[in-house]
Structure 1
Amino acid sequence: MINRFRLPAISAIAASFLLNFGVYAAMQNEPPISMSQMAHDKSDQEVAAEFKDEATMLREKADLHRKLAQNYRARSGKLDFEQVARHCDRLAQLYEDAAKEAEAVSVELSK
């Protein structure tokens, strides 16, 4: 059973997460590249450009999550958002790693 004093804290964390997720989801205007989108009739240069664009988008997402982590750490009050900030840090690192992979593919296809 959840302590009645913990319920408001849990509710506030959940509401904050949902609000930030809603803002993040609204920023997503393009789905990631899929293999079906990469038609076989495209040149390596065209596909390389798509991967380069994908890398740029992934780096933007990494930056967004770094900013979210900073915002969570800057919050004051009774709630500790450090766990949520660490989650954002992990996502930022994953997006940055994915961007490096996409950039590497782009470079390889550009040769």
Structure 2
Amino acid sequence: MAPSFNSSSFLNFLNLIIPSRKTDIVGNLPPEIGCLVLRQLDEATLINVISVSRYWRELCLMDPVLAKRIKNYRNEKKRLRQAQRVYDGRSRSIPAISRYYHILQMFDDLYD
């Protein structure tokens, strides 16, 4: 006779051998190592990371290298938005440029 199969005991067994996906891996590391891990991320991902948890935000902002990268990235995005507004206003008044505006937007979307 085959052994009986209990799904809850199987799930308990799986939880023992497979770590939970809800585990905060970076949060369980010492802050110095967590910062080294976060330094490997690009700036756009860092912006997403600081919105994931308060601890990750504090970790990023207490590290001078990460804080500077985040600040520079935000400033650059702000500068680009302002330049885009100026460009949008001018392109509407110049028919030759506004004709190609959608092509410029496609290239802009590729690099965001």
Fold match (TM-score > 0.5): no
Whose relative contact order is higher, 1 or 2, with alpha carbons under 8 Å and at least 6 apart?
1
Please classify the TM superposition score into its range, dividing by the shorter chain length. Answer: 0.3 to 0.5
When Rg is computed on C-alpha atoms for both structures, the one with the higher figure is 2
Q: TM-score, normalised by structure 1?
A: 0.34
